[in-house]
Amino acid sequence: MKITFMGAGSTIFARNVIGDCMCSESLRDSVFALYDIDGERLEESRTILEAMRTTMGGYGKIECYLGVENRKDALRGAQFVVNAIQVGLYDPCTIIDFEVPKKYGLRQTIADTLGIGGIMRALRTIPVMADFARDMEEVCPDALFLNYTNPMAMLSGFMQRYTGIQTVGLCHSVQVCVETLLRNVGMLDKLDGHRSLIAGINHMAWLLELKDKNGVDLYPEIRSRVDAYIENPDNYDKVRMEYIRNFGYYCTESSEHNAEYNMFYIKSKYPELIQRYNIPLDEYPRRCVAQIEGWKKEYAQLLESGIKEHTRSLEYASHIMEAVVENKPYQIGGNVLNKNHLITNLPAEACVEVPCLINGSGVNPCYVGALPVQCAAMNMTNINVQLLTIEAAVTRKKDHIYQAAMLDPHTASELDIDTIKKMVDDLIEAHGDYLPTYH
């Protein structure tokens, strides 16, 4: 069996996913094909993974493929393809995504999922994903594409609507949502044996139901503790707790993410909100710098001290592959096309995050029904931007980029239309060859 990892220069993530596969008896003898366009980073990943493979019994084989000219060979015959690319990296593209909008007074926190930063990230990534899809349709048409790259809904939605590749989008936030909430409100003792239902869109999927092991609804007690949490100046998950207070439900992704997915919290006319809700402006660039420096130190330490055995992580990827190969059931929260209206009050062309059953036939999304109307409305403010961004990428019409930015909740709450268009033009110019030509 062959498992291909696109963007294998993301060494820490590649180590987790492939290390997880090495922990599985049905996956560990696979050929692990590593693909990247950065030779130095690819070699670092090869070094770490070869050492890990040796430590864990010497199963399987690692192959490396460098550069676009070797991409088809990396994909050829793969049963599973894991995608973790970042087009344009932190420098220059993430820097551009933050610094150009900042000149117009538009501040962001993470900028990888929605907002003007998410839009630009999608526009430079979708053409590369389209190239992947064309190659896969030729050399591994039946492979399951596991997408981890953000903006999740835009990229997965593009693959699901405009290519013939079976695609599921995977995020870390569903797995940790319940535990984070219960820890926040001092109810972690209710975690064991809990039952939950999560559905919506990526990074804004709603914890619709939460019951303890005895079937008792935990939301009434949680809601009674929300005010105390928000009023504590030392707490950082306040935006999501505000969602409970104002919309009735908690959502999957962190408050620093959700602070920029709406028009409520990052407002130049209300600067006091930043401190009140502990919103970390420019958070992602700080993380990037810290991660780059941290990895340099960690890599040097690993080379000096040796590679230890890997402990299987919470990531879905290896469990999905295992479930398909062994034809055994496994449930995930996956990002899939909303065909057959899995969520009845969201559009069929939207990419939604719903429970999915994995088995030998692949990914089988589960019907959810209607979201609470206020939750669906919040999701739609994001889906509008997602669909228009995909439309821009497919048609290459600049007007659709303008429209996506104009309908973005945070952008529109801060800037007028003429300024939004000028900012988009500046961003397109700054990204240069990382973007195709728009007309």
Q: Which residues are catalytic?
A: 172
75's tokens? 């994909």
Beta strands in 348-427 (DSSP E): 351-359, 362-365
| DSSP secondary structure letter of residue 225 | H
Q: At what angle do helices 115-139 and 398-407 cross, to 10 degrees?
A: 130
3-state secondary structure of 354: strand
Q: How many CB atoms lie within 10 A of CB 379?
A: 28
Residue 145 pairs in a beta bridge with 81, 167
Q: How far is CA 70 from CA 65, 159, 433, in A?
A: 6, 22, 21
What one-letter code names the amino acid at 210? Answer: L
Is residue 201 packed enough to be buried (19+ CB in 10 Å), middle (13-18) or exposed (0-12)?
A: buried
Cα–Cα distance between 387 and 393 in angstroms, integer?
Answer: 10
152 closest CA partner among 137, 167, 166 = 167
Residue closest to 309 by CA, chosen among 37, 45, 53: 53
Alpha carbon 214 to chain centroid distance? Answer: 33
Q: 60: which DSSP letter? A: S
Q: Do residues 205 and 199 touch, judged by C-beta distance below 8 A?
A: yes
Nearest CA to 404 out of 152, 136, 393 is that of: 393
* Helix/strand/coil percent split, the chain, to 5: 50, 15, 35
- The dihedrals phi and psi of 324, each to the nearest 5 degrees, come to -70, -45
Give the Cα separation of 137 and 263 in Å (integer): 40
Q: How many CB atoms lie within 10 A of CB 65?
A: 23
Say which DSSP state 328 is in. -
> What is the identity of the amino acid at 137?
E
- Separation CA 323–CA 379 (nearest Å): 30
